[in-house]
C-alpha cells in the first residue's frame, strides 16, 4: 500500500514578485491563495501560493521571489527542472494560442506518444502542459480562462540526472511506484494515484553543470509529496532513514502543512508533506478570502511593518 497519494506542491525560486504574479495569475489563470514570507533565515522574502479552484494538494505552486535579494541560481543537472501541469484533454490548442498572445514562446512536442506544450517562466524555469482525461480536480476560471480549459493542477515533475539508476532505485523502493516507462533519455515513474500529479520524469543529462541547490532565482527548489497523514509521513521517513538515506530533516511546521525534506541520491530535493490538520490554507483566511491578506509566521509578527515596507508591492 502506498504511503503517498500523489504530489502536494512544487516550490520555485523566481525573480520579481509582480512578474511572477502576472505569469501565474494573469497568464495561467491560477488562483492566488496565499501571500506570506519564507520561514527560514532572516531576509524578508515573499512566499506566494497559486492553485486550482479548491487549493487541492497536488494543485499548488509556490514561489520565493529572490530577485529583490539579488540571489540567482543555476539550472543544471541533478536538479528538478520541469514543472508539469495537467490541463483538460483537448485544451492544448487553446493554451498554445493564449500563451502566444501573452508573449510566451511555446513548443509543441511529443512525449511517450502524447502531445504536450513546453514554455518557460519569465525567469527561465521550464514548464509543460499535458492534456489529461478523467481528472476531477476543478480548474480555476481566472483572468479570462474558461473553466473547461483551466489547469487541473500538477501533472508531475521533470528531474535532470546524470545517472538515473540511483533515483529510480530510491523512488522505486520507497514510494511504491507503478512499473517505469522508458523512451530515449527519459524514464517515467508514477507515484500515487495518476490523477494526483505524481509523475516523476527523469531526464538523463550529462552535459550541463551541476545545478544549484540553494534558493536562487530561476530554479525549482523542491517537489512535495502528499503523504496525507502524519502517521504515513512518519512511517515513510523511518523507512527512508533506515535504508541509509540520512540527508533527511526533522519535522518542520510550515503553518499550512507539516514537512520533512529529503535529498534524493540523484540530487532533487523532495518534501514529504501533510496538510495541517488544523485548517491548512483556511487557518488564517476564509475560503473566499484566500490570498487577500499579508500573512506572517508568528516569529515575524513583531516586524510586520518593517517587513511589509521592504517587500515589493504586488498588484493582483
pLDDT of residue 103: 97
Domain contains 200: yes
Q: Does position 278 have pLDDT exceeding 90, yes or no?
A: no
Of 262, 240, 316, residue with least CA distance to 31: 316
Confidence of residue 32 (pLDDT cuts 50, 70, 90): very high
Domain contains 44: yes
CA angle 175, 192, 196 (to 5 degrees): 140
Domain contains 315: no
pLDDT of residue 41: 76
The number of distinct structural domains making up the chain is 1
Domain contains 22: yes
pLDDT of residue 249: 96
Q: Does position 68 have pLDDT exceeding 70, yes or no?
A: yes
| Whether 298 contacts 31, CB under 8 Å | no
Mean pLDDT of the region 41-70:
93
Entry field: residues in the chain: 316
pLDDT of residue 81: 97
Q: What share of the chain is helix, strand, coil (3-state, %, to 5)?
A: 20, 35, 40
Full residue range of the structural domain in which residue 18 is found: 6-310
Domain contains 283: yes
Q: Rounded to two decimals, what is the model's pTM? A: 0.96
Domain contains 316: no
DSSP letter at 282 equals G
Domain contains 1: no
The cell for 97 is 494560442
- Mean pLDDT taken over the chain: 94
Domain contains 133: yes
> Residue 113 maps to which CATH number?
3.10.180.10
**Burial label, 179 (beta-carbon count in 10 A; 0-12, 13-18, 19+):** exposed
Of 281, 12, 244, residue with least CA distance to 121: 12
Q: Does position 1 have pLDDT exceeding 70, yes or no?
A: no
Which residues have a Cβ under 8 Å from the Cβ of 231 and sit 6 or more positions away? none
Q: Does position 22 have pLDDT exceeding 70, yes or no?
A: yes
Query: How far lies 143's CA from each of 56, 131, 150, 239, in Å?
Result: 20, 21, 11, 44
pLDDT of residue 314: 93
Distance, first Cα to last Cα, the chain: 42
Amino acid at each position: 500500500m502506498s504511503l503517498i497519494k500523489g504530489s502536494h506542491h512544487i516550490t520555485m525560486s523566481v525573480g520579481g514578485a509582480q512578474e511572477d504574479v502576472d505569469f501565474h495569475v494573469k497568464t495561467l489563470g491560477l488562483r492566488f491563495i496565499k501571500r506570506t514570507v519564507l520561514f527560514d533565515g532572516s531576509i524578508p522574502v515573499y512566499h506566494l501560493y497559486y492553485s486550482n479552484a479548491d487549493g487541492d494538494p497536488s494543485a499548488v505552486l509556490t514561489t520565493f521571489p529572490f530577485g529583490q535579494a539579488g540571489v540567482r541560481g543555476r539550472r543544471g543537472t541533478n536538479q528538478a527542472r520541469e514543472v508539469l501541469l495537467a490541463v483538460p484533454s483537448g485544451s492544448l490548442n487553446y493554451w498554445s494560442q493564449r500563451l502566444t498572445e501573452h508573449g510566451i514562446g511555446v513548443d509543441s512536442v511529443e512525449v511517450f506518444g502524447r502531445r504536450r506544450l513546453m514554455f518557460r517562466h519569465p525567469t527561465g524555469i521550464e514548464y509543460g502542459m499535458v492534456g489529461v482525461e478523467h481528472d476531477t480536480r476543478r480548474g480555476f476560471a481566472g483572468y479570462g480562462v474558461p473553466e473547461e480549459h483551466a489547469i487541473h493542477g500538477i501533472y508531475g515533475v521533470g528531474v535532470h540526472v546524470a545517472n538515473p539508476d540511483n533515483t529510480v532505485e530510491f523512488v522505486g523502493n520507497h514510494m511504491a511506484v507503478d512499473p517505469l516507462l522508458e523512451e530515449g533519455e527519459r524514464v517515467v515513474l508514477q507515484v500515487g494515484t495518476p490523477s494526483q500529479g505524481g509523475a516523476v520524469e527523469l531526464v538523463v543529462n550529462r552535459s550541463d553543470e551541476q545545478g544549484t541547490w540553494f534558493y536562487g532565482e530561476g530554479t525549482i527548489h523542491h517537489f512535495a509529496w502528499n503523504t496525507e497523514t502524519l502517521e504515513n509521513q512518519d512511517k515513510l521517513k523511518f523507512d527512508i532513514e533506515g535504508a541509509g538515506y540520512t540527508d533527511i530533516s526533522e519535522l518542520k511546521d510550515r503553518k499550512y502543512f507539516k514537512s520533512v525534506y529529503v535529498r534524493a541520491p540523484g540530487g532533487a530535493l523532495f518534501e514529504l508533506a501533510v496538510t495541517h490538520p488544523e485548517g491548512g490554507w483556511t487557518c488564517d483566511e476564509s475560503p473566499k478570502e484566500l490570498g487577500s491578506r499579508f500573512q506572517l509566521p508568528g516569529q515575524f509578527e513583531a516586524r510586520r511593518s518593517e517587513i511589509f515596507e521592504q517587500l515589493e508591492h504586488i498588484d493582483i
